[in-house]
Structure formats: structure tokens, C-alpha cells
Amino acid sequence: MLKKERQEYILQQINRHNKVLSADLCTKLAVSEDTVRRDLHELAGDGKILKVHGGALSNTLYQDTQGEIYARQEKAIIAAKAVSLFEEGMYIMVGGGTTVREILKIVPRDLRLIFITVNLASATELLNYTNYEVILLGGKVSRHTRFCTGGDTIMNLADVRADLCILGTNAIDAEAGISDSDYESVQVKKAMIKSSERVAVVTISEKLGSVERFHISPMNGLDYLITELPPAHEALQDYAKSCEVL
Amino acid sequence: MLKKERQEYILQQINRHNKVLSADLCTKLAVSEDTVRRDLHELAGDGKILKVHGGALSNTLYQDTQGEIYARQEKAIIAAKAVSLFEEGMYIMVGGGTTVREILKIVPRDLRLIFITVNLASATELLNYTNYEVILLGGKVSRHTRFCTGGDTIMNLADVRADLCILGTNAIDAEAGISDSDYESVQVKKAMIKSSERVAVVTISEKLGSVERFHISPMNGLDYLITELPPAHEALQDYAKSCEVL
DNA sequence: AGAAAACCTGCACAAACCTGCATTTTTTAA
DNA sequence: TTAAAAAATGCAGGTTTGTGCAGGTTTTCT
């Protein structure tokens, strides 16, 4: 059997079943595992399949859309600070938004963590990394914000208990606390806070001092505030009274 | 034997078997390996065959795998048929897989539909369209398959009732019914079937007559079988006994 | 935390490959 | 017809490719 033939066969199998196991292939094709591995590696190099531990997957299934992210630099700084709160074996509740997603990208891979989320994009991002378990709390999905909302979700949230919650926010003010303009998000965020031992709010400094229509939580209901500014920055002093600024 | 004759013979062999080995040819034609190699090289230069290490392949096979989604055309036909089952206000349970995704892309936008799914990619796709409500049943997310699995999901599924379930499958056989190689998928698919009034299985005809490790449902547990073939096609007659073929 | 499976790296060896050259066959044209 | 030119073939050599195996490492699962 020629190499190319083998690879055609593999591609066909993947297109048909969306996945193949190295072990299966190596008995079917009667070659060593190394050869199969090399074939898969090569096909993956050409972008024809997606190589994973133990076999390969169809790459047509998992193309995720990623656009430009606003204020990437600042968000990277925030991410680094947030990650310092993570510890082995933690249950971490995460929300949505690009800031949170940046954090997820740089979480140390050697920690074993369990993430709980209601957000589709966050869940998808987390699935790219091994070592994490991902629990998605279901419910009716809000089109605009792409996360689960509604009574089901709130009830599901009530049933869990996380060690830490990483919450992005659209508006934060020393007096008014955090707020949002979307009613459904607010309900979910309140429930997330309630289900978490500690809460860290992450936001770029740009949003400091803004208030939106619906109230989520006062500052003293939160444990950490994380921005890209150094903790000593004057813009943060008002917040430092009611929670720890990182 | 003339050079032209040899090359003629080689082309004939390739058209018949889709491949030739240099070694075979050189004994059959009683010439040195170098000569065979040179012939193959020449034919390949004219684009008549595809030269590979150790022999040559038919070039007709090779070029069709470049499609973005495998068998997109067939899947579009399937999608059109599936959509004919949809009615205003229906609750529709959908699985994952590219076939199902193709269907979701052409669902008429003017129907108001409520979709229920455990699959992140399907949910994300559906969110692109207004007019639909999307309910995502949560649980632990399986990394490989990117949908929710485990006891939570099964229990969530038990709590809902859909009018119609659109189920992709990796393997289907008139005797053995539908099956899959992934244990977790199987559990979820079983629950999906159980929670649905009617079930439509969608698959490209290529998969007809294949069986995988784990059994999901016999054919008579399903209501519709949808392939790209016309219902009268002989390959479908065995299936027509136990369910409606579209 | 420990075992099993999958992985990678380097190595060895055979098969296939290429290059250049000598030999044979075919073609061309005087 | 025959000699020169051109093409085709086979061979020697050195190179590349494909494959399997040994070993040590990483990943996964429990």
C-alpha cells in the first residue's frame, strides 16, 4: 500500500466519521503506529485534519471565529494578574467578554482547574486546553450576548458553588458598584456572584466611573478589582476602600 | 515493446485499479525499473497520472477532497428534505456534525422555531439567525466532541419534550440500526431520541451499511431516514420497511 | 499519585529515487 | 543505403524517502 493511498483512506474515514483513532487505523492499514502517526502529523500539517492525542478529528467542525480584540495589551496585563489568584484544583466560575477570554488564554496549563460557565465562547476557548474540565450551565441562550440566561440558568447556578468568580463588567463605579444595561445579564451575574466564594471583577480602566441602568452589586460585595493600572494609581484609590485592588 | 505501448498499458492499469506499483510494472513489462520510472515521470508531467513514491495513482481521485466541507452538495440536498419537516412553532432537538450544520444553515428564516441542543457549535450557528430561540442543555463538556455529556445532560434531556429530533449519525445499517464509536455520544443520543416525539436521521449515503461499536437505536425506533438519494433508490429499500424514507 | 497509552527522537535499513554515462535502438537525411 | 543524430534504455553510484524499532518523555485516565 502506497503512502498516498493510506492518507486518502484516512481522510475518507475522517470525513465520514469525523474522527479516527490511531490504533484502529494501524490495524486496518496493517502498518505500525508510528507510520499512522506520521501520516496524521503530515495531514495535520497541511491543515486537512486536526491531530489530537490518540487520533485525529475533522477540522471542519471546529473552526472558531476570532476577530480583533480591543485593547489587547491592557487585557493581557489584567489577565496576568487574574491568573495569580488561581490555584490547583479550584472551581472557577467565568463569565464572558473579551477581557475574560484573554485571561483564559494565558491560564497556566499545568494547573488542574474546573471551570464553570454559562458562556459559549468561553467554554469553546477552554476546550482548546487539556487539563481543564469544563462545565457548561445550560438554559435559554441569549442571542446578543451568547450566553445562557433565564430561570433554568439561574437555578442551575444556585446548585453549584465555585471558589472564585472572574467577572467582566461593562460599568463600574466606586459608589454605584458594578452595573449593566442588559437585564438578563444582570440576573445571571447576580447568581454567579452568589454562587462563588470570592469574586474578582476584571475591567480596563476606561470603564472606571461609569454606571449603567441595572445594578448588579456594590463594591463591598466584591473581593478583588483587577485593572491594567498599578494598584497605587490614584484612579483606583476610591475602590481600594471596599475591596482589594490588584 | 514500444515506449508508447508501455505507457498505454500503464494508463490502462491506472484507470482500472486507480494505482500501479513500479515494481509490478517492471516485471510485467520486462523492462528495468528506471524505464518504468521514466515512463511514470513523463505521464505525470503530462498530468495524466499522479506520481508518488513507489508507483502512481489516478489523479481523478485526488482532486475532489479539496472541498470545504466534505460532500457539501449531498448535504445540501439532505438539508432541503429535512427542512420540509419543520413547522411553525416547533420544538426541534438537534445534534452535532457537519450534516446537521448544513441543515441549520438553510432553515427558512420566516419560521419561528425553538431549537434545543447540547452541542456548542450548533448553538453558535443558530445564534446567527434571529427568529429562533435556542436552548442549550448544559453539563460537563466533552473536549473531543464539543458537546455536553454526562449525567447532568441526560437528566436535563429527560426534562424536555421536543416535536422533532434531527440526528446525524456516523454509522447506519438496516439490521443493526444506528451506532457510534463514542460511548458518551451514544448515551446522549439515546436520551435525545427518548425526549423527541419523532426522530429523523440524516446521513450521506456513503455511511449506509456501516456499524460501529455502540448501538444507539434500531431502525424501527426512528421515524424518518434522510439521505441525498431519491427514496426509490434500491440502496434504501431495506430501510423503507422500518421507517419512512425521504 | 501511578499506570497505561500515546508521543517523540534518533537510528537503521531497505526500497525507491536521481544523475550521469555508456550502450543500444530508432530516426533522419545525405 | 548508410552514417550521423537523436532517443531510449540500462547500469553504477550516491541520495532521499518510507518504515519500523528502541528508548525515553509526555499526556491521559483513574
pLDDT in tens, A144-196: 888 899 898 999 899 999 999 999 998 999 999 999 998 989 999 999 999 99
The domain of A146 spans 72-245
Predicted confidence at residue A89, as pLDDT, reads 84
Position A65 in a domain: no
Chain A with chain B: Cβ pairs closer than 8 A = 115
Q: Which nucleotide is nearest to B34 (CA to C1')?
A: D10
- Which CATH number is B17's domain given? 1.10.10.10
B38 Cβ nearer than 7 Å to chain D strand? yes
Give the 3-state secondary structure of A69-100. Answer: CCCHHHHHHHHHHHHCCCCCCCEEEECCCHHH
Hey, is A162 helix, strand or coil?
strand
Do B114 and B39 fall into the same domain?
Answer: no
Same domain, B28 and B146: no
Q: Cell numbers of B102, please?
A: 448544513
DSSP B31: -
Residue A233 and residue B130: Cα distance in Å, rounded?
A: 44
Which of B41, B67, B77, B45 is closest to B202 using CA atoms? Answer: B77
Contact A3, B53 (CB under 8 A): yes
* Rounded CA separation A223/A211 (Å): 19
d(CA A72, CA A203): 12
Indicate yes or no: CB of B170 within 8 angstroms of CB of A60.
Answer: no
Q: Which of B127, B122, B121 is nearest to B93 (CA)?
A: B122
D9 C1': nearest CA residue: B35
C-alpha cell at A219: 463594591
CA of A214 to C1' of C16 (A): 73
Asked if residue B163 and residue B125 are part of one domain, the reply reads yes
**Nearest-CA distance A134 → chain B (Å):** 6
One domain for residues B61 and B87: no
My answer on whether B206 and B100 are in the same domain is yes
Distance from CA of A157 to the nearest CA of B (A): 11
In a domain, A190, yes or no: yes
Residue B80 has pLDDT above 50, yes or no: yes
pLDDT tens-digit profile of B142-181? 877 888 888 888 988 999 999 999 999 989 999 999 998 8
Residue B226's φ and ψ, nearest 5 degrees, are -120, 120
**In this prediction, what percent of chain A has a pLDDT beyond 90?**
52
Q: Sorting pLDDT into bands at 50, 70 and 90, what band is A47?
A: confident
Nearest to A148 among B19, B65, B136 (CB): B136
Residue range A89-112: average pLDDT?
A: 83
pLDDT in tens, B99-134: 898 888 888 888 999 999 999 889 988 988 888 999
Task: Return d(Cα B149, Cα B137) in angstroms, integer.
Answer: 10
pLDDT of residue B64: 52
pLDDT tens digits for range B35-68: 999 999 999 988 889 999 999 998 876 555 445 6
Which of A17, A33, A58 is where one domain is finished?
A58
Give me A85's grid cell: 489568584
Q: Are B138 and A135 in contact (CB under 8 A)?
A: yes
What is the average per-residue pLDDT within B206-223? 91
In eight-state DSSP terms, residue B174 is: T
Q: Is A46 a domain residue?
A: yes
State the total domains in chain A: 2
Clarify whether residues A126 and A199 are in a common domain. yes
Gap from B53 CA to D16 C1', in Å?
11
